[in-house]
C-alpha cells in the first residue's frame, strides 16, 4: 500500500524531528529569498546530499519529476515573454536572450530547492513526530495535517474502489480520447466527495470520544534535546538570521532580467561557505 | 451509572423522532447488548450516552442523560472520554495516528495522563492485546481485525468505566469476530469495564451478554436476560431457525464462466496460487474464507478489474484479460463492499439511468428496466429519493439495483450482507433467490454461514491460495453451532 514515509535506519531518519524541521524551514526560506544561481545550486546540492544520506533520493526524484513539468512551463513562459538586451539567438519572431534564460534557471532552481526540502519533510520525518513537534505551535492545525497523511491511503483506496464500481457500470476510464478520459474520471469526484464527508464526520466523532480538545494535553514522547541536536537547531536558526541579513546587504540576490550575470568576488564565496557550514551539520544525522 | 431519563430525539430535518420517551439505566460492570432492526435508534442511543447527541448532531433533544451524575448537555463529549470509550463499526474511520504506539497514547495525551503512567499503560495494554509486534507498523497496512483490536486497545488504555461498541465485528470474519467478542468478555470480567454492545449478528454475540435491550421504533420493547428476550427477538423477526430456501442439486448446462489456474500476488506475496472456478447458469455460489485470504482479489479477476498474473478467465467464450471491464459489464455485474461507492446521483432513478446510458441500452427500454429492477428489489416507492438518505439495507439494495438494471447473466457480490440486520439479510436472500430462479448466476463472498446455509447452491472456501469445495451441511452445522437457538 502506498505510504510516503518509510522507516529506515539512516542517519537522517535517526535524527530527532526538531532539527530536521528547522532545517526544512531554513531551506524553504532560502528558496524564497535567494535568486542567485550559484547560491541556489549549492543549497540544492546540499539538500540532495541529505536525500542520498537518508536513502530517499528515489522518492525525492519522484516529486522532482513533477516539478520538472512545471519547470518546463516556467522556462517556456519566461523565454517567450521576458525581454533582455543580450540576444543569444532568434527563432522566427522570438528573440531568446541570456537574461530570460538565466532568470528561468534561477526560478527552476528555487522550485527544485523547495520541492526537495518538502521531500525531506515527507520522506525523512515520521508524520507522527512531525505532528508532535508542530503541535506546540498549533495542535489542531497539525492534527488535521497528520490526519490527511494518515487518510491518504484510505482515500486513494476509496477512489480505486469507486473507479471499480464505475467500470462495473460500464464507464470506460482507459479508452477513447483525452476529453473522454477526463469526463470519465470526473464521475469519480462526487462519490469520493460524499464518502470523504461521511468519513470526516466519523473521524471527528471518534476523535471527540477519545478526548480530543478536552483540556491540557501531555506529550508521550517528550524527549529532551541533546547537546548535538541543540547545536544543530542553533546553527540552522543562525543560518536563517545570517541569510536574511546578508540578503538585505545584497548577497545571493541576482536580478537577471536587468542584466545581472556571474560576477562573484571573494566575499561571495565566503558567504556561500558560511551558508554551507551552518547548514551541513544535518549530514551528521542522529545516532543510537 | 449512566441514566437515561425520558429521552426523545429528532435529527434536524427529520419529521419524527428516532428515539421517543426512552428511559433506562446502565450500571458499571454490566455487559449490555442492544439489538433491533436497522433504523430503530440503537446507534442514536449509543451516541446519546456520551453526549455526541445532541452536541455533535444538533436536532431536538428532550429528557436527559446523566453519566455519573453529569448531564451530557452541559458537558462536551470529549470531557466524558475518561468515563466512556467508544469503538465504531469501521476501524478505518477511528484510527487517527499513523502507527500503533502513537494511536494507543493519543487518547491518554488528550486526557493529560502523566507520561510515566502513559508508559506503564502502553506496556500493560500492548501486552494484553498482543500489539507489541505491530508497534511501529503503519496503521493503513494492518488487517481489519488488527485495526479493530488497536481501536479497542487505544480506548481501553484511557481506563474508561464503560465502552460502547457500535457493530464492531461487522467487518470481521467469524474467527476474528469470535476472538474479539471473547476479548470483550474478558475485559468485562477481569477489569470490570461495562460493555455496551450494538450488534446485528445476534448469533455471534447473544451468548456473551448479561442483559439484552431490544429496541423497536425508538423505544425499548424488551430488557432482560438473554433467555427472557429470545421470544421477543423471534417475534420481531430478529431471530429464526435456519430455513434452507434452495435445493442444492447440481445444475446442468454449459459453463458461463471458467477460471483456470489463476495466480496473483501483491508485493511478491502470493495470494492466489492456482484457483479454478466454473460458474453455470442459475447457481448461487458462495465463497468464504478468512479476512485477507484473497476473496476480493479473486472475484476482481472474473470481470477484469484485476488481471491474473498467470492463468485465464473465459466469460461466454471471451478471454476476459483481452477486454475492458466496462465492455463486459452487460454480461457480468459486480458490486463491491461499500454500497456508497455506487451512490452519487440525486435520485435512485438517475443512478439507474447512469448505468443504462453507459451500457448503451436503448432509451426506449429504460423505463421498463428501471421499473422491473425497483420492483424486484422492493424499492419502487423510492424512485425519486436521494440515495444517501436511505437506510443501510436500502442503500445496499440500491447499489445492487445500479448493477441489476443492466440485467447481467452473472452477478458478483463482495460481502453483500455486511452491516445488514437479520430482516434486511432475509430480504436480500429472497431477492437473490428470485433472481437465481429467473436464470441469473450469482457468486458472492460472505462470512455469514447462516446466509450461505439458507441461500447458496454451492459453497467454496478460499484457503492457502486455492478454492476448496465445502458442503452446505457443514455451513448449516457452523451456522447452528453459533446460533442462539442451540446455545441459549
User: What percent of chain A has a predicted confidence (pLDDT) above 70?
Assistant: 94
Q: Per-residue confidence at A1, pLDDT binned at 50, 70, 90?
A: very low
- CA nearest to B100 within chain A: A128
Distance CA A159, CA A199 (A): 13
For chain A, helix, strand, coil in percent to 5 are 70, 5, 25
- CA nearest to B296 within chain A: A161
Distance CA B77, CA B71 (A): 11
- CA nearest to B136 within chain A: A7
pLDDT: which is higher, B402 or A97: B402
A chain contacts of residue B443, beta-carbon cutoff 8 Å: none
* Interface size, chain A vs chain B, as Cβ–Cβ contacts under 8 Å: 194
B chain contacts of residue A128, beta-carbon cutoff 8 Å: 97-99, 102
pLDDT: which is higher, A224 or B79: B79
Contact B406 A206 (CB under 8 A): no
A chain contacts of residue B138, beta-carbon cutoff 8 Å: 3
What is the DSSP pairing of strand B410-414 with strand B332-335? parallel
How close, in Å, is residue B49 to chain A by CA atoms? 11
For B96, which of A169, A203, A214 is closest by C-beta distance? A203
- CA nearest to B158 within chain A: A210
pTM: predicted TM-score of the whole model, two decimal places: 0.77
**Segment B403-431 mean pLDDT:** 89
Distance CA B246, CA B232 (A): 28
How close, in Å, is residue B232 to chain A by CA atoms? 32
For B329, which of A126, A169, A175 is closest by C-beta distance? A169
Contact B115 A158 (CB under 8 A): no
Lowest-confidence segment of A145-149, B206-210, B257-261 by average pLDDT: A145-149
Q: Per-residue confidence at A206, pLDDT binned at 50, 70, 90?
A: very high
Q: Per-residue confidence at A31, pLDDT binned at 50, 70, 90?
A: very high
Contact A212 B78 (CB under 8 A): yes
How close, in Å, is residue B240 to chain A by CA atoms? 33
Q: Per-residue confidence at A171, pLDDT binned at 50, 70, 90?
A: very high
- CA nearest to B103 within chain A: A128
Distance CA B427, CA B396 (A): 11
**Segment A20-47 mean pLDDT:** 93
CA–CA distances in Å: residue B333 to residues B103, B302, B401, B456: 39, 10, 10, 18
C-alpha cell at B430: 429472497
What's the distance, Cα to Cα, between the start and end of chain B in Å? 28
For A169, which of B86, B118, B354 is closest by C-beta distance? B354
B chain contacts of residue A146, beta-carbon cutoff 8 Å: 96-98
**Segment A114-137 mean pLDDT:** 81
In this model, does residue B247 exceed pLDDT 70? Answer: no
In this model, does residue A2 exceed pLDDT 70? Answer: no
- CA nearest to A148 within chain B: B96
Contact B337 A161 (CB under 8 A): yes
Average confidence score pLDDT of chain A: 86
A chain contacts of residue B107, beta-carbon cutoff 8 Å: 210-211
For B102, which of A128, A161, A168 is closest by C-beta distance? A128
Contact A3 B140 (CB under 8 A): yes
Q: Per-residue confidence at B482, pLDDT binned at 50, 70, 90?
A: low
Contact B324 A172 (CB under 8 A): yes
pLDDT of residue B484: 45
Q: Per-residue confidence at B485, pLDDT binned at 50, 70, 90?
A: very low
Ramachandran angles phi, psi of B15, nearest 5°: -95, -10
- CA nearest to A172 within chain B: B326
Rg of chain A taking only CA atoms, in angstroms:
23
Contact A218 B118 (CB under 8 A): yes
In this model, does residue A192 exceed pLDDT 50? Answer: yes
How close, in Å, is residue A138 to chain B by CA atoms? 14
Angle at B225 between CA B220 and CA B230, to 5 degrees: 75
A chain contacts of residue B155, beta-carbon cutoff 8 Å: 210
How close, in Å, is residue A216 to chain B by CA atoms? 6
C-alpha cell at B4: 437515561
**Segment A211-234 mean pLDDT:** 86
pLDDT of residue A135: 66
Contact B78 A154 (CB under 8 A): no
In this model, does residue A288 exceed pLDDT 60? Answer: no
Average confidence score pLDDT of chain B: 89
Distance CA B422, CA B200 (A): 7
pLDDT of residue B392: 78
Contact A165 B358 (CB under 8 A): no
Contact B344 A194 (CB under 8 A): yes
Lowest-confidence segment of A193-207, B166-180, B290-304, B470-484 by average pLDDT: B470-484
CA B183 to chain centre: 20
For B336, which of A143, A161, A220 is closest by C-beta distance? A161
Distance CA B157, CA B107 (A): 8
Whether B459 contacts B288, CB under 8 Å: yes
For A199, which of B93, B119, B140 is closest by C-beta distance? B93
Distance CA A120, CA A54 (A): 9
pLDDT per residue as tens digits for the range B69-78: 999 999 999 9
B399-415 as b/e, with b when 16 or more CB fall inside 10 Å?
Answer: bbbbbbbbbbbbbbbbb
For A220, which of B79, B85, B118 is closest by C-beta distance? B118
Contact B96 A153 (CB under 8 A): no
Amino acid at each position: 500500500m502506498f505510504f510516503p514515509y518509510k522507516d529506515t535506519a539512516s542517519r537522517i531518519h535517526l535524527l530527532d524531528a526538531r532539527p530536521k524541521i528547522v532545517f526544512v524551514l531554513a531551506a524553504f526560506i532560502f528558496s524564497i529569498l535567494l535568486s542567485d544561481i550559484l547560491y541556489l545550486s549549492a543549497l540544492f546540492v546540499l539538500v540532495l546530499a541529505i536525500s542520498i544520506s537518508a536513502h530517499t533520493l528515489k522518492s525525492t526524484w519522484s516529486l522532482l519529476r513533477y516539478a520538472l513539468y512545471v519547470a518546463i512551463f516556467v522556462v517556456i513562459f519566461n523565454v517567450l515573454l521576458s525581454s533582455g538586451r543580450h540576444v543569444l539567438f532568434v527563432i522566427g519572431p522570438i528573440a531568446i536572450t541570456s537574461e530570460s534564460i538565466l532568470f528561468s534557471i534561477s526560478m527552476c532552481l528555487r522550485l527544485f530547492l523547495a520541492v526537495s526540502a518538502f521531500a525531506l519533510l515527507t520522506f525523512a520525518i515520521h508524520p507522527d513526530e512531525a505532528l508532535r513537534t508542530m503541535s506546540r505551535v498549533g495542535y489542531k492545525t497539525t492534527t488535521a495535517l497528520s490526519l490527511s497523511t494518515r487518510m491518504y491511503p484510505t482515500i486513494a483506496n476509496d477512489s480505486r474502489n469507486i473507479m471499480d464500481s464505475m467500470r462495473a457500470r460500464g464507464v470506460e476510464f482507459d479508452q477513447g480520447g483525452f476529453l473522454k478520459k477526463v469526463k470519465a474520471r470526473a464521475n469519480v469526484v462526487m462519490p469520493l466527495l460524499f464518502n470523504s464527508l461521511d468519513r470526516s464526520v466519523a473521524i471527528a466523532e471518534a476523535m471527540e470520544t477519545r478526548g480530543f480538545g478536552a483540556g491540557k494535553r501531555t506529550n508521550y514522547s517528550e524527549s529532551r534535546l541533546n547537546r548535538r541536536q541543540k547545536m544543530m537547531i542553533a546553527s540552522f536558526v543562525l543560518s536563517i538570521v545570517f541569510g536574511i541579513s546578508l540578503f538585505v546587504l545584497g548577497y545571493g540576490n541576482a536580478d537577471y532580467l536587468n542584466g545581472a550575470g556571474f560576477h562573484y568576488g571573494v566575499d561571495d564565496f565566503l558567504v556561500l561557505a558560511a551558508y554551507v557550514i551552518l547548514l551541513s551539520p544535518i549530514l551528521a544525522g542522529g545516532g543510537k | 451509572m449512566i441514566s437515561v431519563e425520558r429521552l426523545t430525539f429528532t435529527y434536524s430535518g427529520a419529521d419524527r423522532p428516532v428515539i421517543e420517551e426512552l428511559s433506562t439505566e446502565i450500571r458499571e460492570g454490566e455487559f449490555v447488548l442492544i439489538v433491533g432492526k436497522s433504523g430503530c435508534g440503537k446507534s442514536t442511543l449509543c451516541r446519546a450516552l456520551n453526549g455526541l447527541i445532541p452536541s455533535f448532531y444538533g436536532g431536538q433533544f428532550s429528557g436527559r442523560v446523566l453519566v455519573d451524575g453529569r448531564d451530557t448537555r452541559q458537558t462536551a463529549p470529549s470531557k466524558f472520554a475518561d468515563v466512556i470509550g467508544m469503538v465504531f463499526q469501521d476501524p478505518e474511520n477511528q484510527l487517527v495516528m499513523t502507527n500503533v504506539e502513537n494511536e494507543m497514547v493519543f487518547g491518554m495525551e488528550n486526557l493529560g495522563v502523566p507520561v510515566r503512567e502513559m508508559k506503564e499503560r502502553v506496556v500493560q495494554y500492548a501486552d494484553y492485546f498482543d500489539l507489541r509486534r505491530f508497534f511501529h507498523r503503519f496503521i493503513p497496512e494492518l488487517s481489519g481485525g488488527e485495526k479493530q483490536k488497536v481501536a479497542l486497545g487505544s480506548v481501553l488504555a484511557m481506563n474508561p468505566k464503560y465502552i460502547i461498541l457500535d457493530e464492531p465485528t461487522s467487518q470481521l470474519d467469524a474467527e476474528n469476530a469470535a476472538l474479539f467478542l471473547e476479548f470483550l468478555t474478558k475485559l468485562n470480567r477481569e477489569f470490570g469495564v461495562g460493555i455496551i454492545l450494538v450488534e446485528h449478528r445476534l448469533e455471534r454475540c447473544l451468548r456473551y451478554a448479561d442483559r439484552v435491550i431490544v429496541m423497536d421504533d425508538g423505544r425499548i420493547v424488551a430488557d432482560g436476560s438473554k433467555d427472557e428476550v429470545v421470544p421477543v427477538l423471534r417475534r420481531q423477526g430478529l431471530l429464526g431457525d435456519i430455513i434452507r430456501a434452495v435445493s442444492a442439486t447440481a445444475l446442468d448446462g454449459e459453463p458461463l464462466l471458467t477460471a483456470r489456474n489463476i495466480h496473483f500476488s501483491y508485493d511478491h506475496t502470493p495470494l492466489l496460487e492456482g484457483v479454478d472456478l466454473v460458474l453455470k447458469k442459475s447457481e448461487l455460489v458462495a465463497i468464504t474464507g478468512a479476512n485477507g485470504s484473497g476473496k476480493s482479489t479473486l472475484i476482481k479477476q472474473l470481470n477484469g478489474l484485476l488481471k491474473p498474473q498467470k492463468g485465464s478467465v473465459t466469460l461466454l467464450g471471451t478471454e476476459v484479460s483481452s477486454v475492458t471491464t466496462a465492455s463486459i459489464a452487460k454480461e457480468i455485474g459486480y458490486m463491491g463492499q461499500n454500497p456508497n461507492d455506487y451512490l452519487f446521483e440525486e435520485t435512485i432513478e438517475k443512478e439507474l439511468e447512469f448505468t443504462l446510458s453507459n451500457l448503451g441500452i436503448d432509451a426506449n427500454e429504460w423505463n421498463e428496466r428501471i421499473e422491473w429492477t425497483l420492483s424486484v428489489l422492493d424499492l419502487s416507492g423510492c424512485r425519486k429519493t436521494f440515495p444517501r438518505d436511505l437506510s443501510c439495507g436500502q442503500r445496499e439494495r440500491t447499489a445492487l439495483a445500479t448493477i441489476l438494471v443492466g440485467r447481467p447473466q452473472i452477478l458478483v457480490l463482495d460481502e453483500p450482507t455486511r452491516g445488514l440486520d437479520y430482516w434486511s439479510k432475509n430480504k436480500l436472500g429472497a431477492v437473490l433467490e428470485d433472481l437465481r430462479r429467473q436464470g441469473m448466476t450469482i457468486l458472492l463472498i460472505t462470512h455469514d454461514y447462516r446466509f450461505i446455509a439458507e441461500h447458496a447452491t454451492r459453497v467454496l472456501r478460499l484457503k492457502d491460495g486455492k478454492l476448496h469445495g465445502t458442503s452446505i451441511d457443514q455451513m448449516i452445522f457452523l451456522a447452528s453451532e453459533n446460533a442462539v437457538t442451540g446455545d441459549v
